[in-house]
Amino acid sequence: MISTSQETHDRIAHIVLQGFDRYRSKFRKITSGARARFENADWYAAQKAAADRINLYDLAVSDVVDLIQCSVSSSILKPDNWPMVKQCYIQQIMGRTDYELAETFFNSIYCRLFKHQVMEHEGMFIHTSLPGVKSKTGIPITNIYALGGEGLVGLLDEILDDHIFTLPWENKRRDIRNIIKHLELTLPRAVWRSNQVKVEVLNSVFYRNKASYLVGRIESEGMIIPFVLAIMNNEKGRVYIDTLLMDRDDVSILFSFTRSYFLVDVPVPAEYVRFLQALMPSKSEAELYSSIGFFKHGKTEFYREFLRHLDTSADEFVSAPGIKGMVMAVFTLPSYPVVFKIIKDYFAPPKEVSRVTVMEKYELVKRHDRVGRMADTQEFSNFVFPRHRFADSLLQELQEVAASNLIIDEHTVTIRHLYTERRMTPLNLYLQSCTEKQCLDVLDEYGNALKQLAAANIFAGDMLLKNFGVTRHGRVVFYDYDEISYLTEVNFRAIPEAAYPEQEMSGEPWYSVGPNDVFPEEFPRFLFADVRIRKLFNDMHGNLFTPEYWQGLQAAIREGRVMSVYPYRRKKRFPRNELAASEQLE
């Protein structure tokens, strides 16, 4: 055992930092393998690596906590000693390019050791130890390209050569022509033909699912424009440019909270986040840290942003709009774009899930490919709110349905366990007030959401409109996870014909129904009370009402196929037919 002293505090801090370094090494090793997986078109391995990298964090925290508990006397492992450990740790992480991640890792160790019971800044980094400090390491994170004698063709050729893969290009000349044609159609000529045009591209390639991305920006004529090239593997040993994204909304959707985290090597995380935020000013630091794989630090930044917002706002927490759920109590702060979700103490019939099952479902979503159709969540323990910011009606409601989760005193409301999630407009409410065009668009989106979830081996289970939300970009996203399952676990059946008419008129089914049986023919009646809406949806996505559609996807998944789901509209994809590309240039 180690004795109590400055040396002890240093030693504990060193154990934590060594554990963090081991975690970062394993994290970067998985990340660095993304290129080989992309080039080999090993999509199953890519999915597994993304999940394995998420799992690393909790494993690393457990290892460090076990080591500290084995190495240090229990009399020392008290919150009162932790301010000294923290000061030693600060000295050890000074000068690091990832100090903010190291702070978050320290917080995780603290919370695991003391079971989230004592949450005080003195012993942990509720606020950063280096406020206002931005990493400026001098390490170059971008390459800068300017027009030369060969014009745009030469500039683009240089960009592609600098990020070359071991695979050859399917048709590099065609891809460059597609890019130039897109620039012609999208930007004023004075911008993309200016002698002062400059393209700055991040050194690291962003990998996710079946694509890789070069991310940067165009600077010309006083304008700064996002520049993201999507690169695909044709699964025949060559790569090609699938599209160029320059619209901020398109880039924001690419980095959405509804998608899996990128695998990208970022030696200086803060500088990468700062660069990305310049491209997407509407994105918070919390969102961007999460999007590049540092979801735990994203959680830290979210909490800090939330505290700052509380200090500059005065509105009250209220029940979230929409039909109240049977499993979760949901509330929000109108001035803040987030909902807080608490598992209820009791689920009324017909719900048969348990609290543990609900938590497992949310964990599944965290680790699974969300394909742009499931909202990411952050899980918190002992989240403290100011008591005076709660509407009395909300507090009464929470006490009625989730009393075991609450600790209330004169000044605070502490919730033992909750999830945070981006607030969206519930789809059923959206349909009540939208225009006819918006109705058609959002119904198409709803159908696409169901199909893309299914392509990712996810069956929503409870597909009611109230369980889907509409984002500010008009995308439809699923957010109620207590009944989700893998698509391959579901038995999709056709309703057998009745033996005689009286059976059909009966209120009870005349056929046996197993626990995993689903009858798609029943979807229209359950999903759409409005017959007009039902018909519109059927015209767009009527195949969802047939068991054959779902069975076909199941067969493809069981064969090991990983289906393509694009983070942009299909119409934005470049033509790959040589003739079509040439014709478009004329």
What's the maximum distance between 2 C-alpha atoms anywhere in the chain? 86
Say whether 341 counts as a known binding-site residue.
Answer: yes
> Any known ligand binding at 314?
no
Amino acid at 459: F
Q: At what angle do helices 436-455 and 531-541 cross, to 10 degrees?
A: 50
Q: Is 469 annotated as contributing to ligand binding?
A: no
3-state DSSP assignment of residue 154: helix
Contact between 423 and 383 under an 8 Å Cβ cutoff? The reply is no
Query: Are 279 and 226 a contacting pair, CB within 8 Å?
Result: yes
Q: Residue 355 and residue 416: Cα distance in Å, rounded?
A: 14
| Cα–Cα distance list, 530 to 293, 382, 383 (Å) | 42, 42, 41
Tokens of 69: 């508990």
Nearest 10 degrees: Cα torsion 309, 315, 321, 326: 80
For residue 59, how far is the Cα from the chain centroid?
21
DSSP β-ladder status, 491-492 and 517-518: parallel
DSSP character at residue 430: H
Cis previous bond, 567, omega within 30: no
Q: Is 286 annotated as a binding residue?
A: no
Residue 181 annotated as part of some ligand binding site: no
- Residue 132 marked ligand-binding: no
Query: In 3D, which of 130, 124, 179, 170 has the Cα closest to residue 151?
Result: 179
Side by side, the strands of the sheet bearing 476-478 are 425-426, 468-470, 476-478
Q: Give dist(CA 408, CA 434) in Å, integer.
A: 40
Is 326 annotated in some ligand binding site? yes
- Strand blocks (E) in 320-439: 328-332, 338-343, 377-386, 406-408, 412-422, 425-426
Q: Is 573 helix (H, G, I), strand (E, B) or coil?
A: coil
- The catalytic residue among 175, 242, 376, 480 is 376
Using only the alpha carbons of the chain, give its radius of gyration: 26
Q: What is the DSSP string of 467-525?
A: GEEE-TTS-EEE---TT-EEGGG-EE-PPPPPSSHHHHHSSS-SS---TTEE-GGGHHH
Instruction: Answer yes or no: are the C-beta atoms of 251 and 213 closer than 8 Å.
Output: no
Is 345 among the residues known to form the active site? Answer: no
φ, ψ (nearest 5 deg) of residue 341: -120, 130
Alpha carbons 444 and 541: distance in angstroms, whole number: 8
Residue 572 is labelled as binding a ligand: no
541 CB-near residues (< 8 Å, 6+ apart): 444, 446, 447, 448, 450, 451
Rounded-to-10 torsion of CA 565, 251, 206, 304:
-110
Binding residues for ATP: 320-326, 341
Binding residues: 320-326, 341
Q: List the catalytic residues.
A: 376
